Amino acid sequence: MVVLAILAILLGIGVPSYLNQNSNQRLRTTVRMLVSDLHVARQEAVTRRSAVTVIFSRADRSCPSGPAAASYTLLQGATPIKHVCFLADIGWLSLPPAAALAFGSTGGSPTGARLQMRSARTGTAYSVSVSAKTGVITSDVR
């Protein structure tokens, strides 16, 4: 009985900590993927010599992870380049006012943007910024 009690205490402490760390790692991975996809959108705009738009959604009904899943889509005109749905516990904390970001044929972004993503489980948040005009992409994920 003593062994079982000790095991129950260790599991009671260890499992939530593991789940929190797992959620934070999924968040960091999602932020890194967003940064990578923004670089792709910028490069595609330069390569194709036409605007590429990234549209952000707080609740995308087409996502398999649930009707309230956050997502983003890379578009060249009306043609989708890539669509990404977040896992259920990851969402947008803040989005640009227009909920879209465009990269022009020079790689710049006329408006720029600051995006924040958050883990609903732990409350941890990270930011991704795209500077206006130059289109330089930065993130606070290390």
Look up the CATH number of the domain holding residue 24. Answer: 3.55.40.10
Residue 101 has pLDDT above 90, yes or no: yes
3-state secondary structure of 124: coil
Domain count, the chain: 1
User: What gap in Å lies between CA 2 and CA 9, rounded to an integer?
Assistant: 11
Report d(CA 142, CA 127) in Å as an integer.
11
Query: Which is higher by pLDDT, 25 or 99?
Result: 25
Mean pLDDT score of the chain: 91
pLDDT of residue 62: 87
What's residue 6's pLDDT? 86
Kindly calculate the radius of gyration of the chain based on its CA atoms and give it in whole angstroms.
19
Q: Which domain holds residue 103?
A: 2-139
- Inter-residue contact 110 to 8 (CB < 8 Å): no
CB 53, CB 99: distance < 8 Å? no
Hey, CA dihedral for 18, 20, 21, 22, is it positive or negative?
positive
Q: How does DSSP classify residue 33?
A: H
Does the pLDDT of residue 68 top 80, yes or no? no
Give the pLDDT score at 98.
Answer: 79
Residue 114 has pLDDT above 80, yes or no: yes
Q: Which residues contact residue 81 at a Cβ distance below 8 angstroms, ignoring those fewer than 6 apart?
A: 40, 41, 44, 52, 74, 75
Dig out the tokens for 140 from the structure: 């606070």
